[in-house]
Amino acid sequence: MNDLRRGAACPHRELAVGWALHALEPAGDSLVAAHMPDCSICTSTAAETEEVGATLGLSVPDAIPNAELEQRVLRVTAAKWEAPVVALAPSTSPPRHITSRFWLRAGGWLRPRR
Amino acid sequence: MAEGPSDAELVRRVRDADGAALSQLYQRFVRPCYSLARRICVDEGLAEDVVQEVFLTLWRDPTRFDPARGGFATWLLTVTHHRAVDAVRKENAIRRRVVAVPEAGEDWSPTPVPGADQAALARVAAGQVRAALHRLPVAQRQVLALAYFGGQTQSEIAVQTGVPLGTVKSRMFTAVQRLRALLTDQLGPDTLVAEARKMRGEQ
């Protein structure tokens, strides 16, 4: 029997349901997020609630996105994927072929995201 | 039934920066994700922004999906839901005016969306979930609707409905508990999402 049905004892399990449904205020959200790793009851409750939520999500009327959306998504992800692979990340100084000014302006953009 | 690699295998390939795997996952899940985002956001453009953000999240950090916690579809729809709710909260003043509190016997469906797929299997699955919802007491259905589809916090629901916060929390807990039991009885012994996807012809 799952944790929701057996009413397992943890004072935060009601909050865990609200957390999984993204229905808590920030303070409650932080509390549950900090509590979750130490509580198998709330972790299980949240997982079961997310599954119920996803099932609700599948019950909505089917809607078709604009065909352009796929290109948008692939364009954005490809930009990250094809970022120049230059060994910059651990260094605090720019490679010799990049000016300091450009280095500072570029911030993290030159660093591969993946 | 979907053919080819499993969702988990595709996610594993996304971890290796396989753009084709991401594209396959997009093809597989964009419609349920967009449909959910559209339902919550109402605005088409906002829903598309949400979906874009969801797949970008998957691409940037696929390790966020933990197979030990549940299925990929559950995770992706949960991320979609949370991102859509966040988007709605940013525009909450507009949104709250159009979220209706469901009454007994009222259909949960929004106004039919232009271009919506009327596939019979999807209707059956959605109908079963809605039937289960309608078996909940109105007060429980109300808090679940306001939270899940309306994007409201428990505190906001307490204010809107004039019910003590503690009661809102317990109603939400009980609603999920009862709905899970009802859906398990209706959809079968496998995980709820897998069963619902099968009935929609997605898996």
B190 touches chain A (CB under 8 A): no
Total tally of structural domains belonging to chain A: 2
Instruction: Kindly state whether residue A111 falls inside one of the protein's structural domains.
Output: no
> Could you give the CA distance from residue B119 to residue B116 in angstroms, rounded to a whole number?
9
Measure A7 CA to nearest chain B CA, in Å.
9
Q: Mind listing the pLDDT tens digit for each residue in B29-41? A: 999 999 999 999 9
Which residue matches tokens 């109300």? B142
**A34 plus A78 within the same structural domain:** no
Token pair belonging to B96: 């709250």
Q: pLDDT band for B201, please (50, 70, 90 cuts).
A: low
Top-ranked range on mean pLDDT: pick from A97-106, B65-74, B115-124: B65-74
Contact B179 A52 (CB under 8 A): yes
Q: Which of residues 64-103 of B touch A (CB under 8 A)?
A: 69-71, 73-75, 77-78, 80-82, 85-86
The ipTM is: 0.82
Write the single-letter amino acid at B16: D
**A73 plus A98 within the same structural domain:** yes
**A12 plus A34 within the same structural domain:** yes
Q: Which residue, B148, B132, B140, is CA-closest to B39?
A: B148
- Strand, coil or helix: what is B179? helix
**A27 plus A50 within the same structural domain:** yes
Residue A114 has pLDDT above 60, yes or no: no
Assigned fold of B1-98: Rna Polymerase Sigma Factor; Chain: A (1.10.1740)
Assigned fold of B104-203: Arc Repressor Mutant, subunit A (1.10.10)
**A51 plus A16 within the same structural domain:** yes
What CA–CA distances, in Å, run from B149 to A21, B19, B81, B119? 10, 32, 9, 22
Q: Taking all residues of chain B, what is their mean pLDDT, rounded to a whole number?
A: 83
Contact B26 A113 (CB under 8 A): no
Query: For residue A82, what are the domain limits?
Result: 68-106
Residue B63 has pLDDT above 80, yes or no: yes
Of A23, A58, A69, the CB nearest to B152: A23
What is the predicted pLDDT for the residue at B200?
A: 66
B6 touches chain A (CB under 8 A): no
Pair A24, B154: CB distance under 8 Å: yes
Contact B148 A56 (CB under 8 A): yes
Of A58, A62, A77, the CB nearest to B59: A77
Q: Which residue, B61, B73, B19, is CA-closest to B202?
A: B73
The 10 Å Cβ neighbour count of residue A82 is 11
How do the domains of chain B map onto residue ranges?
1-98, 104-203
**A80 plus A53 within the same structural domain:** no
Residues of A in contact with B22 (CB under 8 A): 74, 77
**A52 plus A93 within the same structural domain:** no
A91-100 average pLDDT score: 41
Contact B34 A69 (CB under 8 A): yes
Q: Mind listing the pLDDT tens digit for each residue in B170-197? A: 999 999 999 999 988 887 766 777 767 7
Instruction: Kindly state whether residue A114 falls inside one of the protein's structural domains.
Output: no
Contact A4 B180 (CB under 8 A): yes
**A80 plus A38 within the same structural domain:** no
Contacts of A39 (CB under 8 A, 6+ apart): A10, A12
Pair B8, B68: CB distance under 8 Å: no
**A23 plus A44 within the same structural domain:** yes
Write the single-letter amino acid at B38: R
Alpha-helical (H) ranges within B61-119 are: 72-90, 92-95
Residues of B in contact with A79 (CB under 8 A): none
Q: Mind listing the pLDDT tens digit for each residue in B4-56? A: 899 999 999 999 989 899 999 999 999 999 999 999 999 999 999 999 999 99
pTM of this prediction? 0.78
Contact A23 B183 (CB under 8 A): no
Instruction: Kindly state whether residue A62 falls inside one of the protein's structural domains.
Output: no
**A50 plus A90 within the same structural domain:** no
